[in-house]
Structure 1
Amino acid sequence: MSSPHTSNINNPKIIILVLYYSRHGATRKLAEFIAQGIDATAGCEARLRTVPAVSAVSEATESSIPEQGAPYVELVDLEQCAGLALGSPTRFGNMASAMKYFWDGTSAQWLGGTLAGKPACVFTSTGSLHGGQETTLLSMMTPLFHHGMLLMGLPYTLPELMTTSSGGTPYGASHWAGMNGTNPISAESRILAIAQGSRLAETARKLQGE
């Protein structure tokens, strides 16, 4: 996976941005499986990035470097990527406020068409089995549509979509993490997440003329 300041000029591989927010680690694990599918695709490399938490206390600030997990995303990452996988845990059927806060600050990239025409997919994790996986995935699609991205999901040609009982939807990969976030990612959810990363990377390659 690429370093924080790797660019397409110095790296011949196509960069696919995997951007996520994770409070307890479940969404991060799903992001890592998606990155695995991207890295397994010839000519492609996953760039894992996260966003800082937001606080209701105005004086509270996050460290410039996360204590664990991926580095924080920079707007240049949107410019350098050829595709995007976007993930967030569910907050009452919606994306987490930290992720929405990041997208609310991308007006310049929207005006400049930075992401227009690039492929994208979404993924999520939930505390309860019916805790809003699909609506959260749909909520993350909205800003991506506004940015002109090409949204893609998971096809039913993947048999795991028909057999999974712990996550995985045609809108994108998902995971039932449990109330304490301790449920392991099931075999089906892992396969679907890796497949989603591969599908996104392959599509980005084709759009790049590779």
Structure 2
Amino acid sequence: MSVRIFIVYYSLYGHVHTMAQAISLGVRDAGFEPELFRVPETLPDEVIEKMGAKSFQDEFQKLPVITPNELAKADAVIFGTPTRFGNMAGQMRQFLDATGGIWSRGALAGKVGSVFTSSGTQHGGQESTILTMHVTLLHHGMIIAGLPYTFSGQTTMDEISGCSPYGASTIAGGSGERFPSANELAGARYQGRYVARIAQHLAGKQNEILS
């Protein structure tokens, strides 16, 4: 059975984008082709340039922009966002706030939802960002999938590392100088595979689940 796995994210400097690539590998490990989308940008080009993000954004903005109606076509959606003061980025919040139409018809109910993130510091709100995003996904009736402790890198003591049972994550550093470690990328890849396999088992059973 064909299963559609969407990876929907926002990335300003490339850290979340790098994690999304690893999640894509995990989806492929499960035998499916991931579909990558970005949410609409809300910052003017001149602001992006002043923030030093233009070189990455020139590449990132080649990704297709998702619409709420397109979101409803997925069997599973893995959302990615940087952390902003312990919560999702405004770009992701604005996109999710526009999903009232598909919410009203239960278009995401019974589908798998998952989240990954990045933050500037080790305790910069990674877990709260993922958990607060879960609230929105639960309002849509989605079945939440995180990053289980069966990913052994979750308990590493060999390095400072992101990743929690709520989802894969990375630490970008105060100036964005640190990109995802091998362990963090492994966690993202595991999450992609895990979500895809759950979606495979649930595919075609949405009416049964919701009845």
TM-score, scaled relative to structure 1: 0.85
Aligned to 2:54: none
Amino acid at match of 1:188: N
Counterparts of 1:13 and 1:45, CA distance in 2 = 10
Mapping for residues 81-92 of structure 1, pairs under 5 Å: 81-92=74-85
Aligned to 2:98: 105
Which has the larger share of helix? 2
Aligned to 1:61: none
Give aligned pairs, total: 190
Question: Which is worse superposed, 73-82 or 22-31?
Answer: 73-82
In the TM superposition, what is the alpha-carbon distance from 1:152 to its structure 2 partner? 1.2
Counterparts of 2:77 and 2:84, CA distance in 1 = 21
Match of 1:36, SS state, is helix
Aligned to 2:48: none
Question: Which is worse superposed, 12-21 or 137-146?
Answer: 12-21
Aligned to 1:21: 10
Q: Is the Cα–Cα contact under 8 Å of residues 13 and 45 in structure 1 kept in the other structure? A: no
Q: Say if 2:37 is the partner of 1:49.
A: yes
Counterparts of 1:128 and 1:99, CA distance in 2 = 20
Aligned to 1:183: 178
Counterparts of 1:199 and 1:76, CA distance in 2 = 25
Amino acid at match of 2:19: L
Unaligned runs of 5+ in 1: 1-11, 57-65
Aligned to 2:27: 38
In the TM superposition, what is the alpha-carbon distance from 1:209 to its structure 2 partner? 5.6
Q: Is the Cα–Cα contact under 8 Å of residues 124 and 175 in structure 1 kept in the other structure? A: yes
Q: Is the Cα–Cα contact under 8 Å of residues 175 and 189 in structure 1 kept in the other structure? A: yes
Q: Is the Cα–Cα contact under 8 Å of residues 68 and 98 in structure 2 kept in the other structure? A: no
In the TM superposition, what is the alpha-carbon distance from 1:180 to its structure 2 partner? 2.1
1:56-76 CA distances to partner (integer Å, 9 max, x unpaired)?
Answer: 9xxxxxxxxx73222111223
Counterparts of 1:86 and 1:41, CA distance in 2 = 18
Match of 1:80, SS state, is coil
1:132-183 CA distances to partner (integer Å, 9 max, x unpaired)?
Answer: 0100111111110000000011111221000062201000000001122221
Q: Say if 2:192 is the partner of 1:197.
A: yes
Amino acid at match of 2:163: G
CA RMSD of superposed structures (Å): 1.9
Question: Which is worse superposed, 32-41 or 102-111?
Answer: 32-41
Q: Is the Cα–Cα contact under 8 Å of residues 15 and 172 in structure 2 kept in the other structure? A: yes
Amino acid at match of 1:26: H
Amino acid at match of 2:67: E
TM-score, scaled relative to structure 2: 0.85
Unaligned runs of 5+ in 2: 45-56, 206-211
Counterparts of 1:114 and 1:67, CA distance in 2 = 33
Amino acid at match of 1:123: F
Find 1:168's aligned residue among 163, 166, 169: 163
Q: Is the Cα–Cα contact under 8 Å of residues 17 and 77 in structure 1 kept in the other structure? A: no
Counterparts of 1:181 and 1:49, CA distance in 2 = 23
Counterparts of 2:69 and 2:101, CA distance in 1 = 12
Counterparts of 2:79 and 2:134, CA distance in 1 = 9
